[in-house]
Amino acid sequence: GAVVSQHPSRVICKSGTSVKIECRSLDFQATTMFWYRQFPKQSLMLMATSNEGSKATYEQGVEKDKFLINHASLTLSTLTVTSAHPEDSSFYICSATDGPDTQYFGPGTRLTVL
């Protein structure tokens, strides 16, 4: 149980294009989903908290107009990196929770912006 998937697992795009990453909770309804970013050899950095049907809450320093988050249902949240640039290249990881104090993480999406 408690499986979270992400799609795609890796994506390469040109600078200036937008990329959408999907996060799904497969066997439970996620009241809250989280998006993280991880650069090489570094820890995970929380970007935003997403609740179904409401606007995401972004961490300080994260541009909400650049990283668009939509949480359309209790099993799906999407992160869109708009007008991506090489510095946005990173490993993006989502997590989901169904209420109790445990987050379950997706496998991550490797974004490379050329």
Q: Which residue lies nearer to other proteins by CB, 46 or 72?
A: 46
Site for other proteins in 73-112 (CB under 8 A): 91, 93, 95, 97, 99-108, 110
- Alpha-carbon distances of 96 from 4, 7, 38, 40, rounded to whole Å: 7, 15, 17, 23
Is position 8 an interface residue for other proteins (rule: CB under 8 A)? no
Sequence-distant (≥ 6) Cβ neighbours of residue 56 within 8 angstroms:
48, 49, 50, 64, 69, 71
Is position 2 an interface residue for other proteins (rule: CB under 8 A)? yes
Q: Which residue lies nearer to other proteins by CB, 70 or 103?
A: 103
Contact 75, 24 (CB under 8 A): yes
Phi, psi for 106 (deg, rounded to 5): -80, 175
Site for other proteins in 14-53 (CB under 8 A): 32, 34, 36, 43-46, 49
Classify residue 109 by burial, with Cβ atoms within 10 Å: 0-12, 13-18, 19+: buried
Q: Which residue lies nearer to other proteins by CB, 46 or 114?
A: 46
* Contact residues: other proteins, CB under 8 A: 2, 4, 6, 32, 34, 36, 43-46, 49, 57, 91, 93, 95, 97, 99-108, 110
